[in-house]
Amino acid sequence: MVDFEFSEDEIRFRDSVREFAKRYIEPKWVEIDEKGRIPMDLIKRIADQGLFAIPVPEEYGGMGGTMVMTALAVEEIAYHDPAVAVAVYTLLNNGWPLALALFGQEEAKMEVLPKVASGDAFFGIASTEPQGGSDVAGNKTVAKKVGDKWVINGEKAFISGIREIQELPEGGGFFLVAKTEKPGWSHKRITDFVVLPKWNGKIREEWKPTVYEEIGRHGLSTGGFTLENFEVDDKYRIGEVNKGFYLVLQGFNIARILVAAATVGSARWALDRAKEWLRTRKLFQGRPIASFEGVSFRYAELYTMVEAARYFVYKAAWMADNIYLSKSPRFKPQDLNLPVAMAKMLGPTVTTEVYTEVLKWFGAYGYTKECNAHRGWLGTFSYTIGAEGAQNIMKYIIARDTLGSDAVRNVWAKEEE
């Protein structure tokens, strides 16, 4: 039986997030983008509202919610912060904590997750390296087992949360992807770790961070770091040795759903602003510009595409709940690849289209900073480039899972032992 309605709990939760975001995020979103940081008291407030670690089980300090609820929360936050810094900060602290809850060791989960849920620590992803992000098997960061510890050396780039980790009272860290024992192109020699450059308020000297200057979404920092003989206890290893590639891809699937939800929320904001404008802006003897088909038909196309992206987001979130939370035998983790890739391909792409059009509809006003639509445009554009997976990787996944991996070029052909 098909039912496209959210449950009563989901609607009540969405309404509560909407009210929260309207009250506490919307009045600050421009200031957040201008000043380039999310105020610490707002992060604490979001945590107190229970909006971090939503799908993480309660025994780890999480909220015991679902991925559908998490997507609803991220979409609503992005609607009220269309530059998406707050939405992305929130989604990172939901998606990657869930990945840790699913694949991590008990001791690490008990130590890290409650502090993320309380907003005292950040937990994101550190996969991308200076040579690229899409080619995870080509990563060069190496983790070597020395005695009962792991020693990690390498460099990560374009990582979210670098400044926030340093400023948060506890600190935080990453779901870090490393090559086991030696470099070389391989997806069979990858192990994942919980890496905490700042923990219990202390920054590790073996971690050398740097923060980049970006063109948009200024409220959330992006940067890079090097790890020099960074020691990690074995309890922080995520999953089995050399199985890290398969686990981080599942983490990416979870996070991609939420990235798409954030872009959809921002696009909805832009379309709602445009709707008011198209109905009330009058030209040529009092005709609202919505009366010109060149405008209204384009609005119709974009509205439809945003709705289509929303459907993909919630279908993928629903399937993720079936796989990871209710452990339904109906789906396997790899079944999630296709709906997630479609959501992540469509969400950011259509959102960029929406902003490109909305800025033009606003005319010269759209090109002013007063209009503020440019903040959403620049903020969400990041997600057409990369962030949890580039658009061409999404297309590769869709092509592979529909045309068949035998017909699509196999990028995993040359394993280096």
Partner 1 sequence: MRVLVAVKLTYDINQLKFEKDGTPLLDACPRVMGEADKCALEEAVKLKDAGKAEEVTVLTIGSSKEHQRILKDAYAMGATKAVMVKVDDPDSLSALSVARIISSYAEKTGPYDLILLGSGAGDTHSSVVGPMVASLLGVPLLANADRVSVENGSVTIVSTLEDGQYKFTSKMPAVVTVTSEANEPRIPTIRDILRSKKKPIDETTPEELGAHVSKINIESIIKYEVPRKRVKIDATDNVEEAVEKLIKALEEEGVI
Residues that bind partner 1 (CB under 8 A): 8-9, 12-13, 16, 19-20, 23, 48-51, 54, 58, 63-65, 69
Pairing assessment for the beta strands 171-180 and 142-146 based on DSSP bridges:
parallel
For residue 8, the minimal CB distance to partner 1 (Å) is 7
Please state, in angstroms and as integers, the Cα–Cα distance from residue 377 to each residue in 135, 138, 290, 390, following that order. Answer: 27, 31, 22, 18
Kindly give, in sequence order, each residue whose CB lies less than 8 Å from that of residue 188, ignoring residues fewer than 6 positions away.
242, 245, 415
Provide the 3-class DSSP secondary structure of residue 333. Answer: helix
For residue 19, the minimal CB distance to partner 1 (Å) is 5
Kindly give, in sequence order, each residue whose CB lies less than 8 Å from that of residue 417, ignoring residues fewer than 6 positions away.
184, 186
For residue 11, the minimal CB distance to partner 1 (Å) is 9
For residue 373, the minimal CB distance to partner 1 (Å) is 23
Q: Which two tokens stand for residue 116?
A: 């993320």
Q: Is the CB of 9 or the CB of 301 nearer to partner 1?
A: 9
For residue 61, the minimal CB distance to partner 1 (Å) is 11
Q: Is the CB of 261 or the CB of 397 nearer to partner 1?
A: 261
Q: Is the CB of 42 or the CB of 108 nearer to partner 1?
A: 42
Q: Is the CB of 12 or the CB of 35 nearer to partner 1?
A: 12
Q: Is the CB of 117 or the CB of 397 nearer to partner 1?
A: 117
Burial (0-12, 13-18, 19+ Cβ within 10 Å), 344: buried
For residue 23, the minimal CB distance to partner 1 (Å) is 7
Q: Is the CB of 63 or the CB of 267 nearer to partner 1?
A: 63
Contact in structure between 60 and 113 (CB atoms under 8 Å): yes
Provide the 3-class DSSP secondary structure of residue 290. Answer: helix
